């Protein structure tokens, strides 16, 4: 399991200094079903806008 998850979306409520993701769980989905061929076919569904 990854010890350090990076995120550059600084308007996400789970974004922390140093581009770290501090979400307890991370949910990534594929646009093409159960598999993906490249990064462009995926999204982080954990994103929530910061207030």
pLDDT, tens digit (0-9, with 9 covering 90-100), for 11-44: 999 999 999 999 999 999 999 999 999 999 999 9
| pTM, two decimal places | 0.82
Domain boundaries, the chain: 1-51
Closest of 43, 40, 46, 41 to residue 21, by C-alpha: 46
E-only strand ranges, the chain: 15-16, 20-21, 28-30, 42-44
- Asked if 20 and 9 count as a contact pair (C-beta separation under 8 A), the reply is no
pLDDT score of 6: 96
H helical segments located in the chain: none
- Asked if 45 and 28 count as a contact pair (C-beta separation under 8 A), the reply is yes
pLDDT band at 2 (very low <50, low <70, confident <90, very high): confident
| pLDDT higher than threshold 80 for residue 50 | yes
């Amino acid at each position: 399991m990854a010890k350090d998850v990076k995120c550059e979306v600084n308007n996400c409520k789970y974004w922390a200094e140093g581009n770290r993701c501090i979400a307890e769980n991370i949910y990534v989905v594929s646009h093409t079903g159960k598999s993906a061929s490249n990064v462009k076919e995926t999204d982080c569904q954990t994103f929530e806008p910061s207030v």
